Amino acid sequence: MTELNGALIGCGFFAVNQMHAWQDVAGASIVAICDRDPERLRIVGDQFGIGRRYSDAAEMFADGGFDFVDIATTVQSHRALVEMAAAHKVPAICQKPFAKTLDDAKAMVKVCAEAGLPLMVHENFRWQTPIQAVKKVLEAGTIGQPFWGRFSFRSGYDVFSGQPYLAEGERFIIEDLGIHTLDIARYILGDVAALSARTKRVNPRIKGEDVATILLDHENGATSIVDVSYASKLSTEPFPETLIELDGTEGSIRLSQGYKLEVTGKSGTEVSDVSPTLLSWASRPWHNIQESVYAIQQHWAERLAAGGETSTAGADNLKTFALVEAAYDSAASGQTVDVKAML
Ligand code: NAD
Ligand code: 89Y
């Protein structure tokens, strides 16, 4: 495979995982990094031995010499940086949440499409080993046609110490974490026609909602519940596991805490362990997410080299992002929201 050269913008908390993963990805590596915070630039540059360092993304694009850019900044800068990449004809990966608004996200997809450039959203949760295992069982037809699902992420893990900005925004769990859970629901049960949602803030030290319950009407007639919480105190902390229940015409799937997969079909029940691999640079409990970072980046490198749409292309992600906006709209109005009308 030809080696693709990448540049990474945003050397913060999560980018360290992306940098580790790029070292493992076959066919791509990072040759330049950018952060407007000199301390973060120094830390990441020194840790990963990157000589080309920039405090200004415009300067980095002007110098060029890379085949793609990996945008790992927080949401405020995503639109401007994706547009800058498109102006320089550079394919881009953009972290979630893709944009501040659905209109911004649509504009970002349009500018890259018009320039004929690949754009992938770093929507990595669907790449987790347990989620891939559920998808595989469903596709094998063991449980028949799924008619009901539950996608659940309930935790009391302190995410605020590593990501203090999560405590400060008007919006929290749907935009930050629920976005992944909604994407998994779409990935497993298909696109969504309508939804209704209820939210709550339990933790008095944060600004946004930390609990959300969302009812989805999938286009194929299935119904599902996406329930997310960072206010749940449990006997064994499940972070960062997404638990799944699926009922189908011929059987059922249960992905339960501890990465246990139970599949019931016509010939009985099979139980298996679908734990993620602990990569050399990973640490528990984040290893489930860290492995999916490697998986999505490997997928990008392969698709960029061979051509073809990525699983979480910008256009695909509009359908996940619309669910985020619809959930906030529904929680505010108390009404069911027509998701298809938003796209
Ligand atoms: P962070 O604040 O720790 O890091 C962001 C970095 O980007 C900072 O160092 C900041 O100085 C830099 N930056 C911001 N705007 C810039 C610009 N215009 N030019 C150059 N540098 C700029 O944030 P984080 O916690 O690393 O989160 C980054 C993104 O990753 C967020 O969107 C977050 O939601 C996402 N995230 C994704 C996952 C996942 O599993 N996909 C997990 C955690 C965080
Ligand atoms: O930012 C979030 C994400 O994308 O995955 C987990 C997280 O780090 C905290 O909710």
Query: What is the tens place of the pLDDT at every residue in 36-69?
Result: 999 999 999 999 999 999 999 999 999 999 999 9
* Contact present, 108 and 317 (Cβ < 8 Å): no
CATH of the domain at 26: 3.40.50.720
Cis (ω within 30 of 0) for the bond into 240? yes
Other CB atoms within 10 Å distance of the CB of residue 102: 17
Instruction: Name the DSSP class of 209.
Output: -
**Phi, then psi, of 37 in degrees rounded to 5:** -95, 110
Statement to judge: residues 89 and 45 lie in one domain: yes
Report the distance separating Cα 157 and Cα 285, nearest Å. 10
Q: What is the pLDDT of residue 152?
A: 99
State the amino acid at position 232 in one-letter form. Answer: S
Q: What is the CATH number of the domain that holds 144?
A: 3.30.360.10
Beta bridge partners of 252: 247, 264
CA-closest candidate to residue 343, choices 215, 214, 223, 193 = 193
Residue 13 C-alpha to ligand 2 middle, in angstroms? 11
Residue-number span of the structural domain to which 37 is assigned: 4-117
| Mean pLDDT computed over 108-112 | 98
Residues 70 and 136 placed together within one structural domain of the fold: no
Mean pLDDT for the chain overall: 98
Output the ligand 1 site: residues, CB below 6 A.
9-15, 34-37, 40, 57, 72-75, 77, 95-96, 122, 124, 163, 176, 289
ipTM above 0.95, yes or no: yes
Confidence of residue 104 (pLDDT cuts 50, 70, 90): very high
Closest alpha carbon to 261 in 246, 240, 250, 277: 246
Mean pLDDT of 178-207: 98
Q: What is the 3-state secondary structure (H, E, C) of 269-315?
A: EEEEECCCCCCCCCCCCCHHHHHHHHHHHHHHHHHHHHCCCCCCEHH
* Structure tokens given for 172: 């929290």
Domain boundary among 99, 117, 135: 117
Closest ligand (CA of 12): 1
Domain boundary, last residue among 117, 146, 164: 117
Tell me if 339 sits within 8 A of 194, measured CB to CB: yes
Q: At how many degrees (to 10) do helices 102-114 and 78-87 cross?
A: 10
Query: Per the structure block, which two tokens stand in for 259?
Result: 């990465």
What is the rounded CA–CA span in Å between residue 216 and residue 218?
6
| CB of 159 shorter than 6 A to ligand 2 | yes
% of the chain at pLDDT higher than 70: 99
Which residues, other chains included, contact 192 with Cβ-Cβ below 8 Å and sequence gap of 6+?
A: 185, 186, 216, 217, 218, 219, 319, 323, 339
Token pair 């999505």 is at which residue?
296
Question: Which among 19, 35, 75, 172 is the best mutation to test ligand 1's pocket, defined by most ligand atoms within 8 Å of the CB?
Answer: 35
Query: How many Cβ atoms are within 10 Å of 226's Cβ, its own excluded?
Result: 29
Return the ligand number nearest the Cα of 242. 2
Same domain? For 22 and 108 the reply is yes
Query: What pLDDT score was predicted for residue 1?
Result: 55
Question: Is residue 338 included in any domain, yes or no?
Answer: yes
Distance of CA 201 to the CA centre of its chain: 23
User: With 0-12 CB in 10 A as exposed, 13-18 as middle and 19+ as buried, what is 146?
Assistant: buried
How confident is the model over 291-343, as pLDDT tens digits?
A: 999 999 999 999 999 999 999 999 999 999 999 999 999 999 999 999 999 99
Q: Are 224 and 211 in contact (CB under 8 A)?
A: no
Query: Is residue 195 classed as helix, strand or coil in its secondary structure?
Result: strand
By CB atoms closer than 10 A (0-12, 13-18, 19+), residue 121 is buried
Tally of domains in the chain: 2
Say if residues 92 and 31 touch (Cβ distance below 8 Å): no
208 in a domain, yes or no?
Answer: yes
